[in-house]
Amino acid sequence: MPKVRTDETALTAAIVELATKYGRYGYRRITALLKRSGWRVNSKRVERIWRQEGLKVPARQPKRGRLWLNDGSCLRLRPEYKNHVWAYDFVADRTQSGKAFRMLTVVDEYTRECLAITVERKLNATHVLETLGELFVNRGPPGHIRSDNGPEFCAQAVQNWLSRSQVKTLFI
C-alpha cells in the first residue's frame, strides 16, 4: 500500500486553487508558483495530483483560429451522482449497401448508462428535442448536459428549450 504524505490534501487544495486562478498555466508553471510560495515539491508529484484531480493540461493557443474562452478555466465538471451530467453526440455510419445513417446517443456520465440511441437517415435539432423530451419525462432533467458545438446542439430552439428546463449546457 503506497504511503500518503501528510501534506497531500493541503497541496492538492493549493494546486486546484492556483489552477483556477491561472487557467492557462500547466502543471510546470504551477510547480514554479508553489516553490516560490514555499512548498518543497517536484514537478512529477504536481503532475500526478494534477491528473488525479482531472485538471486539463491546456493546449497551446493556435496562431490563427478560435480565440481562447474568456473564463480561461482548467477545471472540468465531474459528475457526482446519477443524472448530474449527461453527454450527447452524433455517430455516423453506413449500411452494407452504402446508405448513410446517423445515431443520436445520450449517456449518463456518472453511471455510464446509455439512456437513448435514436437512429435515422437524417437527424436534426427537432429529433434532438424529441429524444431529450422523452428522457426528461421518464428520468427527469439532468443538472448539466455536455456536447460538442455541432449545429444541432447549438440550435436556438435546443438552447431555449434547455434553458426553460433549467439544464445548463457544457460545450467541449
Give how many domains the chain has, as a whole number: 2
Name residue 49's amino acid.
I
CATH code at position 114: 3.30.420.10
pLDDT, tens digit, 9 for 90 and up, residues 46-82: 999 998 888 876 566 665 544 444 444 455 678 889 9
Query: Is 3 within a domain?
Result: no
Residue 48: domain span: 8-52
Name residue 152's amino acid.
E
Name residue 30's amino acid.
I
Which residue, chain included where needed, has cell 474568456?
70
Query: Is 148 within a domain?
Result: yes
Same domain, 101 and 166: yes
Asked whether 65 and 71 are in contact (CB, 8 A), the reply is: no
Pairing verdict, β 144-147 and 85-94? parallel
Same domain, 92 and 35: no
Query: Is 13 within a domain?
Result: yes
Same domain, 30 and 101: no
Which residue, chain included where needed, has cell 446509455?
114
State residue 91 phi and psi, 5-degree precision. Answer: -125, 130
* pTM of the entire predicted model: 0.56
Same domain, 167 and 89: yes
Q: 112: how many CB neighbours lie within 10 A of its CB?
A: 8
Question: What is the grid cell recorded at 38?
Answer: 514555499
**What's the pLDDT score for residue 32?**
94
**What's the pLDDT score for residue 28?**
92
**What's the pLDDT score for residue 152?**
87
Q: 132: how many CB neighbours lie within 10 A of its CB?
A: 24
Which ranges of the chain have pLDDT less than 70? Answer: 1-4, 57-76
* Greatest Cα pair distance in the chain: 66
Same domain, 94 and 162: yes
**What's the pLDDT score for residue 119?**
93
pLDDT, tens digit, 9 for 90 and up, residues 76-89: 678 889 999 999 99
Same domain, 48 and 92: no
Name residue 98's amino acid.
G
